[in-house]
């Protein structure tokens, strides 16, 4: 790319360089979180020579993304409720180490609401925002949660109303993550913290697999590294408190079924073998070190 092309969303540098040719269609399932269309994005990926951040170019239009996320529906995460709740409890433990108070928690992009349900059980008062009609309805109807079917930029939320804001696997979906940080900073009370979970495009696994990394998906428009997410946060006036890996707990079956994105035959064979030896439904949280959690706090002037 030349100097008149798009600028890096993390540091503002222009002159982003071609990195991975992965442009393709989102597919019949749209932008669901459980897709196995590895190696396909909605445009090619460019890389910042200054901070290493990667992003799509051109960036998809807002209207396309908004409609696709509103329509997104998948029962796969619902079936994995036990593992999702275990993953949520681990996240909440981290949040509670850093938050000044543990009263009001907001989950932006909460999907079906398992983290909110776990937070409620720990004594938090909880609110969620989720654009998917399917997922937000599940959170309300099945879990009894206060979840609004809205967008994080437009939802009517009180300023300085929350002690913690959660964005689990959200930042990588946003064409303008810096605007999201500004919005979140205004929503947090003094002493409040934000918890982010997102793929680590600078990890050894991501670098080794390249375009075939399982986080190169139609749902992702940003590809952060640990360096570039720190840069983004600092640029927008945030203090980084902690960065660590963030493995997810799913059944062995779920993980083996994801192999279908590489080889359907291998996936079927592996699932069958795991079932025969009684391992298919066992919870598993392998740490491939390619998903990170970041805790940060806005700096107050």
Other C-beta atoms lying within 10 Å of the C-beta of residue 300: 10
For 210-242, the pLDDT digits (tens) are 999 999 999 999 999 999 999 999 999 999 999
Estimate the crossing angle of helix 81-98 against helix 114-121, to 10 degrees: 60
More confident residue, 266 or 72: 266
Beta strands in the chain (DSSP E): 17-20, 44-47, 54-57, 104-108, 125-129, 147-148, 162-168, 188-199, 222-223, 238-245, 250-251, 283-284, 291-298
Closest CA to 162 of 174, 152, 177: 152
Model confidence band, residue 34 (pLDDT cutoffs 50, 70, 90): low
Find residue 17's DSSP bridge partners: 47
User: Over the chain, what is the mean pLDDT?
Assistant: 94
pLDDT at 1: 41
pLDDT at 30: 67
Q: Are 288 and 205 in contact (CB under 8 A)?
A: yes
For 4-19, the pLDDT digits (tens) are 579 999 999 999 999 9
Distance CA 19, CA 44 (A): 8
Distance CA 299, CA 272 (A): 52
Query: For the chain, what percent of residues have pLDDT higher than 70?
Result: 97
| pTM of the predicted protein model | 0.95
Find residue 21's DSSP bridge partners: none
pLDDT at 29: 72
Other C-beta atoms lying within 10 Å of the C-beta of residue 287: 10
């Amino acid at each position: 790319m030349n100097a008149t092309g798009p600028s890096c969303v993390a540091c503002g540098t222009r002159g982003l360089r071609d990195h991975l040719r992965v442009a393709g269609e989102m597919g019949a399932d749209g932008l669901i979180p459980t897709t196995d269309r590895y190696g396909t994005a909605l445009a090619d990926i460019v890389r910042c020579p200054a901070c290493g951040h990667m992003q799509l170019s051109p960036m998809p239009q807002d209207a396309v993304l908004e409609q696709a996320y509103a329509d997104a529906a998948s029962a796969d995460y619902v079936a994995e409720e036990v593992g999702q709740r275990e993953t949520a409890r681990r996240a909440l433990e981290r949040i509670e180490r850093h938050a000044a108070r543990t009263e009001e928690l907001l989950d932006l992009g909460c999907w079906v609401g398992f983290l909110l349900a776990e937070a409620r059980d720990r004594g938090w008062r909880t609110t969620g925002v989720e654009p998917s009609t399917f997922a937000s309805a599940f959170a309300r109807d099945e879990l009894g949660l206060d979840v609004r079917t809205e967008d994080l930029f437009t939802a009517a939320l009180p300023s300085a109303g929350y002690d913690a804001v959660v964005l689990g696997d959200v930042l990588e979906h946003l064409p303008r993550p810096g605007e999201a940080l500004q919005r979140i900073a205004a929503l947090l009370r003094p002493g409040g913290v934000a918890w982010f979970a997102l793929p680590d495009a600078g990890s050894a696994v991501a670098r080794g697999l390249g375009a075939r990394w399982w986080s190169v998906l139609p749902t992702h428009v940003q590809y952060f590294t640990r360096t570039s997410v720190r840069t983004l946060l600092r640029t927008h006036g945030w203090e980084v408190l902690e960065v660590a890996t963030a493995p997810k707990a799913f059944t062995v079956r779920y993980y083996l079924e994801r192999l279908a994105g590489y080889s359907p035959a291998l996936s079927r064979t592996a699932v069958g073998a795991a079932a025969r030896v009684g391992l298919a439904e066992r919870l598993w949280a392998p740490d491939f070190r390619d998903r990170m959690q970041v805790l940060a706090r806005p700096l107050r002037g």
